[in-house]
Amino acid sequence: MLSALPALLSTGAAPTFVGAAPLNAFYADLLGTTTFYDDPDVFPRFQLLESLNSYDGSGRVLASQAALFLVGWTETPYLDVGLDRPVSEVLGTAFHILEIPVTSFAASGAGVEVPLEMMNWEIVDQNGPYVPGITSFYMSFGWVEFEYEPWPLFREMEVTELALVLQAEGSTTSQAPPAVALWNWESESWFAVPDAVWGTMNVGDFAPYLGPGNAVRLRLQNDGSDVNIRAVYPSLRGNLE
């Protein structure tokens, strides 16, 4: 039985930097435990997964953006190999990386919304908290900056609406949200979103906050109590020919 992690889906002709390694976000799912270093059976698998991540000099991950993969192990070996001396017990394990064929599609019309799953993102910078991604993370005192870029299909879309989505996890909804700011591509400066709230915040005059390829940068700064954030991302809607 193949023990697989959630599918890794991305698009585009060239590699791109993402905020977290596509594999290490699912190490616990793949390995069945979070104690990677203490288990002699798990640690070699952990090292193999780490070797598949290609890091650049800044420590970020260079992730391929061209396919959908299923990754996991089976307990059945597929190569007729072994040791040249007798052993009391022989264990066989096979590691699989399977590319799943996908069919491209076209979307067009008015009022098209870009799904979060069709947005590339990266963490541009952060100070204070360690934020591993854009969903289900814990944020203590400090700030973090994100950049989002739609898939190529939506990069020429005529944007008619921009909103910011900031969702809290559990009891955090009763706390004040972190401060939110948008990057103004024209003035190359941050603009504080007034009266930020949990939920969806519509942006009125949004043109200065759309960068090349309809990219959006946003910043969270937490100066209060620690918060658990379910998700943070821009919502783009527009006309697509």
Max Cα–Cα distance, the chain, nearest Å: 74
**Domains in the chain, ordered, with CATH?**
3-100 (no CATH), 111-240 (2.60.120.1200)
3-state secondary structure of 149: strand
Burial of 62 (0-12, 13-18, 19+ CB in 10 A): middle
Number of Cβ within a 10 Å radius of residue 173? 14
Give me the tens of pLDDT residue by residue for the chain, a chain 241 residues long.
333 333 333 333 223 333 444 555 567 777 788 787 778 878 887 887 777 665 544 444 444 445 567 777 777 766 666 666 665 565 667 777 777 776 655 667 788 888 888 888 888 888 987 777 888 888 888 999 999 999 888 888 999 999 999 999 887 778 889 999 999 999 999 999 998 999 999 999 999 999 999 999 999 999 888 888 889 999 999 998 7
Instruction: Read off the amino acid at residue 234.
Output: P
Look up the pTM and report it: 0.62
Tokens for 100?
């799943």
pLDDT of residue 105: 59
